[in-house]
């Protein structure tokens, strides 16, 4: 998925209409197209998550630069992005909305621990108690949630 932005003087503007899902990893790209003032400048993207944690990503030089959105900023319902360059030239911040994917911290933690222990079976059984706060009461029940194993190698799992 690609999020497109333009930089005109000091204004950053999002130009696509993609819908993001939370908890994506190594999938969402930001592509920044710059005006002539920014073209030869070394650039960095500043991402701010819902907890106000800041992550800086090196963009390099050029009229069109890109980066992968850090996974930590995709865990809320929005993130902020701005760009800064040499001599502290900065852009305005742009807010990017994120929709819930259905995954939660509890599900992600269970998946990560199963992968690191090498005990990733065909499914991971997660009781509803482990993520009951993340789902509406009207659909909560006692049945477990199953997450199927990806047919790809572990390096290509997206969760």
pLDDT 10s digits, 81-138: 999 998 778 999 999 999 988 766 666 666 666 666 665 444 444 444 444 444 444 3
Averaged pLDDT, 19-24: 90
Q: Which pLDDT score is estimated for 152?
A: 43
* 3-state secondary structure (DSSP) of residue 135: coil
Q: Which pLDDT score is estimated for 74?
A: 93
* Structural domains in the chain, sorted by start: 2-99 (2.60.40.10), 105-148 (no CATH)
Whether 141 shows a pLDDT value over 90: the answer reads: no
CB 15 within 8 A of CB 5: yes
Strand residues in 35-144 grouped as ranges (E):
43-48, 54-60, 64-68, 78-85, 89-90, 94-99, 123-126
Q: Which pLDDT score is estimated for 101?
A: 81
Work out the pLDDT band at 15, boundaries 50, 70, 90.
very high
Q: Which pLDDT score is estimated for 25?
A: 87
| 3-state per-residue secondary structure call for 16-59 | CCCCEECCCCCCCEEEEEECHHHHCCCEEEEEECCCCCEEEEEE
Biggest distance spanned by C-alpha atoms of the chain: 59
Q: Which pLDDT score is estimated for 40?
A: 87
Whether 5 shows a pLDDT value over 90: the answer reads: yes
pLDDT 10s digits, 56-88: 999 999 999 999 999 999 999 999 999 999 877
């Amino acid at each position: 998925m690609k999020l497109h932005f333009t930089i005109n003087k000091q204004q950053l503007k999002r130009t696509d209409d993609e819908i993001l899902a939370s908890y994506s990893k190594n999938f969402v790209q930001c592509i920044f197209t710059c005006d002539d003032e920014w073209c030869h400048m070394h650039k960095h993207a500043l991402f701010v998550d819902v907890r106000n944690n800041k992550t800086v990503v090196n963009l390099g030089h050029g009229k069109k630069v890109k980066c992968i959105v850090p996974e930590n900023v995709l865990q809320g319902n929005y993130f902020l992005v701005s760009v800064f360059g040499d001599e502290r030239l900065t852009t305005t911040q742009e807010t990017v909305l994120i929709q819930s994917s259905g995954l939660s911290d509890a599900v992600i933690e269970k998946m990560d621990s199963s992968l690191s222990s090498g005990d990733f079976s065909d499914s991971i059984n997660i009781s509803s108690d482990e993520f009951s706060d993340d789902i509406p009461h009207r659909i909560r029940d006692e049945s477990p949630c199953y997450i199927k194993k990806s047919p790809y190698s572990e390096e290509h799992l997206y969760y």
